Structure 1
Amino acid sequence: MSATGSTVRGTEAKGGAKAAANTAPKSVRRRNAGLGLIAWLAGILFVLPVLWMALTSLHSETDAATNPPSLAAPLTLDGYREFFGAGGGPSPWFSLANSLTASVVSTLFVLLLALPAAYALSIRPVRKWTDVLFFFLSTKMLPVVAGLLPIYLFAKNTGMLDNIWLLVILYTSMNLPIAVWMMQSFLAEVPTALIEAAQIDGARLPVILTRVVAPIAMPGIAATSLICFIFSWNEMLFARVLTGVIAQTAPVFLTGFITSQGLFLAKVCAASLVISLPVLAAGFAAQDKLVQGLSLGAVK
């Protein structure tokens, strides 16, 4: 009898929910439909340039340069073959490896430095911690080009030009203020009772950071890591000025396809699509953690 009663109550609850949905005001349903349509249009607007770039990369240079472009033009992989050096050009693998090294290593350094700093500013706040956060953020107010000449002279005098480790240091210093600012809000959501319990058990600070704080704040750490990786991967100004052949990154390699003679649109689109794939793959891999991390620091 109890099982039958619970089944009946469940059926009645579902019927009540459907009835409430059907009796919702028409104005609310129209508003929700309008918001959904706007969201779909905005999504299509953002995705359309990427789809157009992918389609252009599959055309020949002559078809890609037509105005207006021809959608019915025959498809070819010549742009990708030239990008990967099949036509006798330079191979992109070394530049891709440099970008991957600089982005991954600098992101790891940023996390190692930002996690203790964010812990000190959120869970164990220091005096005037808001001023400290503002100081971190103020370092991003200086235009990058304003510090380009001093950094170039320093790299030249120390023999660090065309060195991938110089980019690692620069990317770490560039992304560290943003990482500290983001992770401070994420770590503020960590329950202090767990940290106090770990301290009572005799856990020291490195153990607390790695075994208590980091697992709880993992969505925020993943979001911070992804943003730092994207910023490092896409950076081109320092890489263009401070590197040559040995430490050339993928964005700098991409600019080599833009010439003053001949057609290059299909090759540039193919190269841009390939170079964007690591960022897209990282975004899809960390999609769930990214959404949780972005909402973690916002919900109080």
Structure 2
Amino acid sequence: MAAATATPVRIAPAARTLRRRSRRNGALLGLLAWLGGIVFFLPFAWMVLTSFHSEQDAAANPPHLAAPLTLNGYREFFGSGTGVSPWPPLVNSLTAALASTVLVLVLAIPAAYALSVKPVRKWTDVMFFFLSTKMLPAVAGLLPVYLIAKNAGLLDNIWLLVILYTSMNLPIAVWMMRSFLADVPVAIMEAAAIDGAGLPTVLVRIVAPVVMPGIAATSLISFIFSWNELLFARVLTGVVAGTAPVFLTGFVTSQGLFLAKVCAAAVCISLPVLAAGFAAQDKLVQGLSLGAVK
């Protein structure tokens, strides 16, 4: 009996030591996470602060943190004094990003369903093929794409960018959606099929609600990649189909770099992506976590 009561006495100090060590590790990881967040946030905060300075104060070295604030950079971005409106490029970027994201989801979800829930033969080779399309640098395909667009009369056409952005983001979307769909219980889909539901019904009413966090994460990443793309938009567009990143490069002129104006333009162009990420942050975290846990 004495030996039985002595065992908890020996275990309790070890348990307390493990709990204290776990708390210290958790506090250390939390501190590192905060430091990492601050490091990533500081450049954006600096850009926002610079956008409210005059060009003289923005170009000062060392910088003037307490310099007077002004809205001149934003006024010039919205065409005050220049007459150049940013709305057509912003609308072009929004059109290309939204349309390509919808097409990516429409194509990626059935493909991922076929590669995970109803696996095709040699599906690993198919997944490697999708991944291999991202190994070629974008600049290597710039000339062939330009010649094809020129011969087809699609230069300076926003729908050309929609097609390109869809093809560029589709491999990533298939990989992500396959990871999410692999976690869907097969039993519920089999039950729906027994009840007479076809593939479109299963995808829309059964699979989509279950993997909605994954769909949100995939769509947000596709939207961000499309919104930020510059290389093809800079080469393949002109006056009509120019996007927001192309419009941003117009602030770098032969007269020099107008830092305050560029920062103001960058803040305005970043707002749609930030707003989309903030609105879908809960589903984004759930979706990325769902795809990572296996």
- Please give the TM-score of this superposition, normalised by the length of structure 1: 0.91
After superposition, what is the alpha-carbon deviation per residue over 1:81-122, rounded to whole angstroms, capped at 9, x for unaligned?
A: 000001123100000000000000000000000011000000
CA contact (8 A) 1:62 1:263 kept: no
After superposition, what is the alpha-carbon deviation per residue over 1:232-262, rounded to whole angstroms, capped at 9, x for unaligned?
A: 0000000000000000000000000011215
SS at match of 2:145: helix
* Aligned-partner Cα distance in 2 for 1:152–1:111: 26
Structure 1 residue 156 and structure 2 residue 150: aligned?
yes
Structure 1 unaligned runs (5+)? 1-20
CA contact (8 A) 2:73 2:264 kept: yes
2:183 match? 189
CA contact (8 A) 1:110 1:179 kept: yes
* Aligned-partner Cα distance in 2 for 1:24–1:62: 57
1:199 match? 193
* Aligned-partner Cα distance in 2 for 1:199–1:37: 50
Deviation at 1:38, TM superposition (A): 1.4
Deviation at 1:296, TM superposition (A): 1.0
Match of 1:273 among 261, 267, 271: 267
Match of 1:178 among 172, 176, 187: 172
1:235 match? 229
Deviation at 1:221, TM superposition (A): 0.5
1:223 match? 217
- Please give the TM-score of this superposition, normalised by the length of structure 2: 0.93
1:32 match? 26
Structure 1 residue 117 and structure 2 residue 111: aligned?
yes
Deviation at 1:22, TM superposition (A): 8.2
1:8 match? none
Structure 1 residue 50 and structure 2 residue 71: aligned?
no
Match of 1:101 among 95, 98, 103: 95
* Aligned-partner Cα distance in 2 for 1:289–1:141: 29
Structure 2 unaligned runs (5+)? 1-14
2:77 match? 83
SS at match of 1:153: helix
Amino acid at match of 2:145: I
Structure 1 residue 212 and structure 2 residue 206: aligned?
yes
* Aligned-partner Cα distance in 1 for 2:90–2:123: 39
* Aligned-partner Cα distance in 2 for 1:23–1:134: 47
* Aligned-partner Cα distance in 2 for 1:108–1:27: 48
CA contact (8 A) 1:61 1:263 kept: no
Amino acid at match of 1:239: A
CA contact (8 A) 2:51 2:263 kept: yes
Q: How many residue pairs end up in the alignment?
A: 281
Match of 1:245 among 239, 248, 253: 239
The verdict on how the C-alpha distance between 1:201 and 1:250 changes in structure 2, with shifts beyond 3 A counting, is same
* Aligned-partner Cα distance in 2 for 1:263–1:194: 58
Structure 1 stretch displaced more, 226-235 or 22-31: 22-31
* Aligned-partner Cα distance in 2 for 1:134–1:262: 45
1:12 match? none
SS at match of 2:253: coil
* Aligned-partner Cα distance in 1 for 2:87–2:76: 13
SS at match of 1:42: helix
- Identity, in percent, stands at 77
1:131 match? 125
SS at match of 1:215: helix
Deviation at 1:40, TM superposition (A): 1.1
